Amino acid sequence: MRNSDLPLVSVVMNCYDSETYLKEAIDSIYSQDFDDWEIIFWDNKSTDGSAEIAKSYDSKLKYYLADTHTVLGAARNLALSKAKGKYISFLDCDDLYLPNKLSLQVNLMETYGFPLSYGSAIIIDEKGADVRKESVSYQSGNVFANLLSRYEINMQSVMIRRDILHHDQLSFDQSMRYCPDYKLFMEIASRYDLGVIEDYIVKYRHTANSLSKQTTDYVSSEIKYTLDGIFNRDPNLKEIYSAQVELSYGKLHYYDTINALLKNERVIAKRHMSEIKFQRWQYFLLYTFLYLPISDKLILQILKR
């Protein structure tokens, strides 16, 4: 039985110099229509006003200051070690929860026992204006094959049952710079059915200084590292989902193409896309664009990159 003195949900917030949108992010948790939660606020040695903002809230926000600054994967693990809830949810300091985020996920996971759930997200800009909506496409159940073909899990929308992490000895990979969350969630998806919520439950902010834009050199290699690890652990998965596996490894060339375009390396981009141009019609279209007299910047805008 669950200890009723403990919160049902621990919301993990990892912070490093995030004062700009921090109050808005924290307020979105306090505005939930579900109140059985705690915030685990991990300050990764911020040098701005983040600590003062976090400490202005009540005891439902537990503030922890790191001894030393660490990479994000390590910081997330340190924060997780402080969590007491049956469920773990995540919120980065420039993003937002919609008011029914926690209640929808708790209801789904309590009813069906899913170890992880996620939902749809609204992308917003630096001023908070809606840019586009990213609706989930899959239904609750075995979504691993689908995620191999097209990954759709937004980090902010995830909720995990904490005991799964201990049972399967899973955590965020501290060696990764770009996608430790992708590795963790794909590991869980390769072993269990997941809960999928159609509703928009989070707002995810795209900014000029976002981490994903600073780490494009690592995207392809870290996704390959993740896939290799899963299929080495369970080679049967590679046979069962052979078509999707081929697509997932092929997409590594797409990520390398994006990285090349960001660096204005059109020749390298062409070489990567030539490897997969017949896998999908979208790839062939991109391959064609690379031979047209249009700028790398315009191609990236078309790709929403």
DSSP labels for the chain? ---TTS-SEEEEEEESS-HHHHHHHHHHHHT-S---EEEEEEE-S--SSHHHHHHTS-TTEEEEE-SS---HHHHHHHHHTT--SSEEEE--TT-EE-TTHHHHHHHHHHHH--SEEEEEEEEE-TTS-EEEEE-----SB--HHHHHHS----GGG-EEEHHHHHHTT----TT-SS-HHHHHHHHHHTTS-BEEEEEEEEEEE--TT-HHHH-GGGHHHHHHHHHHHHHHH-HHHHHHTHHHHHHHHHHHHHHHHHHHHHTT-HHHHHHHHHTTTTT-HHHHHHHHHTTSS--HHHHHHHTT-
Lowest mean pLDDT among 1-5, 99-103, 214-218: 1-5
> Domain 9-207 classified CATH 3.40.50.300?
no
pTM for the full model?
A: 0.92
pLDDT at 47 over 60: yes
> Quick check: 12 and 18 in contact, CB under 8 A?
no
Mean pLDDT of 279-290: 95
Q: How confident is the model at residue 208 (pLDDT cuts 50, 70, 90)?
A: low
pLDDT at 211 over 50: no
For residue 2, the model assigns a pLDDT of: 52
Long-range Cβ contact pairs of 232-237 (< 8 A, separation 24 or more): 234/190, 237/144, 237/190
Mean pLDDT of 40-56: 96
Residue holding tokens 């700009």?
20
Residue holding tokens 């991109």?
286
How far is it, in rounded angstroms, from Cα 133 to Cα 91? 18
For residue 304, the model assigns a pLDDT of: 78
For residue 254, the model assigns a pLDDT of: 95
For residue 119, the model assigns a pLDDT of: 98
Write the pLDDT tens digit of every residue in 229-279. 999 999 999 999 999 999 999 999 999 999 999 999 999 999 999 999 999
Q: How confident is the model at residue 218 (pLDDT cuts 50, 70, 90)?
A: confident
Q: How many CB atoms lie within 10 A of CB 96?
A: 23
For residue 187, the model assigns a pLDDT of: 97
The one-letter amino acid at 287: Y
pLDDT at 194 over 50: yes
Write the pLDDT tens digit of every residue in 66-120. 999 998 889 999 999 999 999 999 999 999 999 999 999 999 999 999 999 999 9
**CATH 3.90.550.10 residue spans of the chain:** 9-207
Nearest to 173 by CA among 245, 234, 226, 251: 226
Longest dimension (CA), the chain: 65
Average pLDDT, the chain: 94
pLDDT at 212 over 80: no
| Higher-scoring residue by pLDDT: 229, 213 | 229
> Quick check: 105 and 87 in contact, CB under 8 A?
yes
Residue 78 backbone zone (phi > 0: left; psi -120 to 50: alpha; other: beta): alpha
Tokens of 234: 């369970």
Q: How confident is the model at residue 210 (pLDDT cuts 50, 70, 90)?
A: low
For residue 213, the model assigns a pLDDT of: 53
